[in-house]
């Protein structure tokens, strides 16, 4: 077969390969979509087990038996989630409902602000019909914000609404903590021995750096923003601070969420929105330039364009979970490809030869 293809023109080989690649990709996507719900549970459990393994290892270093350490960490995690679910979650949900109910009045307030601006002496001299522009802008903004709030609410309901999915994820996480090491040993046995250790090390290092660093960064950002918003007496300050903190888990999430919070606030009061934008941007820059380099260290080595492409692909395939794993997975692929190319060059041009 190889000899036959070598005799064919290159353009013909490429033309024959394209439909085969397209067909295989289409079949892969169909298979992926069919098992998407199952893959979501598995990936979520793997990520949770990966994060919870760190406190387990800490207890192991304190001479606690592994099974006992797993039970302690697992029970403590469930207890903390229960406390957050009974205290912080109801407050955030209540503020979210109040925001949705109060959004029409905020939009009306923004319309009044635009109307007052258009009635000013300076603006009335301009050859622009700002009244019509303000009405169109208000209507479009109202529709977009209502659609966005509905999508966010639907996403939250779909994410946490399935009790069976949550139970399966929790159970699978527990068993991965117990037997995950043996599972990964069995999976990597299928790889060539000279690559298995290298690939496993790269994956663990990239996911470790990303999740531990990004989670710590999100906690610092969320706490700082919440305190700042409460000091500013910003309506729904707790909700907005939590939104910024959660969005910081994703690359480019902090600037996007800050812009969204400032836009929403400016509907109620333009100058309050400007103040929120200025202070939140200042806090973001201090954390990004002072704290983030120590936590993340620029470990990915990815061009921002490729980070954005990875996020788009991850979101398309797995939604929120895809956003979480897209960047460390892309960084791992880049590191593996770089090491493979370096090793190949070393074989072709061994050291010592001119």
Q: What is the pLDDT of residue 102?
A: 75
Q: What is the pLDDT of residue 123?
A: 47
Contact 244/319 with Cβ under 8 angstroms?
A: no
Tell me the per-residue pLDDT of 16-49, one tens digit each, with 9 for 90 and over: 677 777 787 778 778 877 887 888 888 888 888 8
Cα dist from 333 to 26, 112, 272, 338, whole Å: 22, 52, 44, 8
Which helix (H) or strand (E) covers residue 236, if one does? none
Tokens of 231: 């000091």
How many Cβ atoms sit within 10 Å of the Cβ of residue 330?
20
- Residues 75, 77: Cα–Cα separation, whole Å: 5
- Residues 30, 28: Cα–Cα separation, whole Å: 5
Residue listed under structure tokens 């690559």: 195
Contact 189/196 with Cβ under 8 angstroms?
A: yes
Q: What is the pLDDT of residue 354?
A: 46
Tokens of 334: 């880049």
HSE, CB side, 13 Å, CA atoms: give it for residue 8: 13
- Residues 210, 84: Cα–Cα separation, whole Å: 24
- Residues 105, 114: Cα–Cα separation, whole Å: 14
Tell me how far the alpha carbon of residue 17 is from its chain's centroid. 35
Q: How many residues does the chain have?
A: 354
Q: What is the pLDDT of residue 152?
A: 55
Q: Which of 284, 285, 332 is nearest to 306 (CA)?
A: 332
What residues contact 200, with CB distance under 8 A and at least 6 apart? Answer: 184, 188
- Residues 294, 239: Cα–Cα separation, whole Å: 28
How many Cβ atoms sit within 10 Å of the Cβ of residue 41?
21
**Can you list the alpha helix ranges (DSSP code H) found in the chain?**
2-7, 10-34, 36-61, 66-86, 88-118, 121-124, 130-160, 163-188, 193-231, 237-247, 253-268, 270-290, 292-295, 304-318, 320-348
DSSP SS3 for 352: coil
Q: What is the pLDDT of residue 278?
A: 92
Tell me the per-residue pLDDT of 64-107, one tens digit each, with 9 for 90 and over: 888 888 899 989 988 988 888 788 878 887 887 787 777 777 77
Q: What is the pLDDT of residue 293?
A: 65
Which helix (H) or strand (E) covers residue 351, if one does? none
Q: What is the pLDDT of residue 352?
A: 52
Residue ranges of the chain with per-residue pLDDT less than 70: 1-16, 110-163, 292-301, 343-354
Q: What is the pLDDT of residue 303?
A: 72
Confidence (pTM)? 0.71
């Amino acid at each position: 077969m190889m000899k036959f293809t070598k005799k064919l023109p290159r353009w013909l080989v490429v033309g024959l390969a394209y439909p085969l690649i397209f067909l295989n990709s289409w079949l892969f996507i169909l298979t992926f979509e069919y098992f998407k719900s199952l893959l979501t549970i598995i990936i979520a459990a793997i990520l949770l087990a990966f994060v919870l393994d760190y406190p387990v290892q800490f207890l192991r270093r304190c001479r606690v038996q592994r099974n006992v350490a797993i039970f302690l960490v697992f029970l403590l995690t469930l207890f903390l989630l229960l406390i957050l679910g009974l205290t912080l979650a109801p407050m955030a949900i209540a503020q979210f409902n109040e925001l949705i109910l109060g959004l029409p009045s905020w939009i009306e307030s923004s319309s009044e602000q635009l109307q007052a601006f258009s009635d000013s002496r300076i603006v009335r001299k301009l050859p622009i019909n700002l009244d019509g522009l303000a009405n169109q802008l208000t209507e479009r903004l109202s529709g977009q914000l209502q659609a966005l709030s509905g999508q966010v609410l639907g996403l939250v309901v779909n994410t946490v609404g399935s009790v069976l999915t949550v139970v399966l994820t929790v159970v699978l996480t527990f068993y991965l903590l117990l037997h995950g090491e043996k599972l990964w040993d069995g999976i990597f046995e299928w790889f060539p021995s000279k690559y298995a250790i290298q690939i496993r090390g790269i994956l663990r290092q990239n996911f470790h750096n990303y999740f531990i660093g990004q989670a710590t960064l999100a906690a610092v950002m969320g706490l700082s923003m919440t305190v700042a918003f409460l000091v500013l007496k910003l309506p729904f300050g707790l909700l907005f601070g939590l939104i910024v903190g959660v969005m910081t888990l994703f690359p480019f999430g902090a600037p996007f969420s800050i812009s969204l919070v400032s836009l929403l606030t400016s509907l109620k009061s333009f100058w309050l929105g400007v103040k929120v934008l200025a202070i939140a941007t200042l806090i973001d820059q201090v954390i990004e330039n002072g704290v983030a380099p120590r936590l993340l260290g620029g470990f990915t080595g990815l061009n921002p364009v490729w980070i954005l492409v990875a996020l788009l692909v991850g979101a398309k395939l797995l939604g929120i979970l895809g956003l979480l794993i897209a960047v460390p997975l892309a960084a791992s692929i880049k590191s593996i490809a770089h090491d493979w190319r370096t090793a190949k060059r070393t074989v072709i041009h061994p050291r010592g030869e001119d």
